[in-house]
Amino acid sequence: MARTFRRKHTQQPISELNVTNLIDLGFTLLIIFMIATTVTNQEQTVPMNLPVESKSIQTKADPDDKFESITIKANGTISLAGRQLTLAQLARELGSMAGQPKPPVFRIRMDAKATAQQFMSVVDELKKKKLFKITFDTQTAN
């Protein structure tokens, strides 16, 4: 006499769902995105002797604004977002950025020993391209 050891196949929904793995995946992705956004927001800054300003009330930047840094070193070299450029190359780059729907805010970082003429050359290029949103990086007085 042969016996059959099969279960009855019933069409019932699963009443339990193990979501532990899904929660682990969610937290892992959250950590990855948190690390990735802080890395992309950091810029590689060149150590500089920035000018000193007096203490004043600082306004908060709009979180939707995109920032690009223009660095003027003491020897007169100009960098845009970490890339060293000539003044003519800077003008071309600014021209392409001016064509964007929402141009970035430019952070000017100038060494305290850089000349006013070097600074004015950069500001003139910004004015020619009608890029008027600029900020200045300085040291605060103690």
Would residue 4 count as lying in a domain?
Answer: no
Residue 73 inside a domain? The answer is yes
Q: Are 66 and 41 spatial neighbours (Cβ–Cβ below 8 Å)?
A: no
The CATH number that applies at residue 116 is 3.30.420.270
Among the listed residues 2, 63, 12, 1, the one whose alpha carbon sits nearest the alpha carbon of residue 37: 63
Domain count of the chain?
1
Q: How far is residue 130's CA from residue 116's CA, in Å, rounded to a whole number?
A: 21
Q: What is the DSSP letter of 16?
A: -
Length of the chain: 142
Report if residue 79 sits inside a domain: yes
Q: Could you tell me if residue 91 is inside a domain?
A: yes
Look at residue 22 and tell me if it is in a domain. Answer: no
Which has the higher per-residue pLDDT, 70 or 61?
A: 70
Residue 64 confidence (pLDDT): 75
Domain assignment of residue 87, given as a range:
64-140
> 51: closest CA among 105, 114, 107?
114
Whole-model pTM above 0.85? no
Lowest-confidence pick of 28-42, 93-107, 116-130? 28-42
Residue-level pLDDT at 26: 93
24 within a domain of the structure (yes/no): no
